[in-house]
Amino acid sequence: MGRQLFSANYQLGFRFFKAFLFVAVIAIIIILSVICELSLMDIFVCCLAFMPTAWGLIQIAQAVRPKIEHTGVWHFTRALAREFDYGMGIVLFGPIAILAWLPIIKAFHARILFNEAFKRHLQIQPILAVKKKKHRP
């Protein structure tokens, strides 16, 4: 929404606003964790509890879309769903990307792919033959 409201004319202000929001959220998390004496595990559990709650709220909003589509709530729902997708993408694909950069994983992957026993069991011809049999009239 910020990109639409703050086009190229206000790009610097928009970036400062985003940086301020990020710092404010981190500061609030730190202040609340100090006041409530939360450990890192407690914060992690809270994040895990927020994920299905946010997903459920998005699903409810999608179910009542015809009623809220002409209000500002629908725009907020779309923005929340987009951010939720970004976050889940980072949570799911971040560890995969980190593992892909490790040299041991690359060596292990190459060893499996060029293993003769693996090649013998991975044959594509029987799969293609079954597929051709299914398509014959």
* pLDDT tens per residue across span 49-63: 888 888 898 899 999
- Please give the Cα distance from 137 to 120 (Å, whole number): 32
Low-confidence residues in the chain, pLDDT < 50: none
Instruction: Specify the pLDDT at position 65.
Output: 92
Instruction: Compute how many other C-beta atoms are within 10 angstroms of the C-beta atom of residue 77.
Output: 20
Into how many domains does the chain fold? Answer: 2
Residues 86 and 46 in one domain: yes
Residues 8 and 22 in one domain: yes
Instruction: Give the DSSP H/E element, type plus range, for residue 99.
Output: helix 72-101
34: domain range?
A: 1-101
Residues 35 and 76 in one domain: yes
Instruction: Specify the pLDDT at position 23.
Output: 96
- Please give the Cα distance from 76 to 59 (Å, whole number): 13
Q: How far is CA 129 from the centre of its chain?
A: 39
Residues 67 and 50 in one domain: yes
Instruction: Specify the pLDDT at position 112.
Output: 72
Structure tokens at 65: 């879309």
Give the CA distances from residue 125 to residues 100, 102, 107, 120, 137, in Å, rounded to whole numbers and listed in that order.
Answer: 30, 34, 28, 12, 21
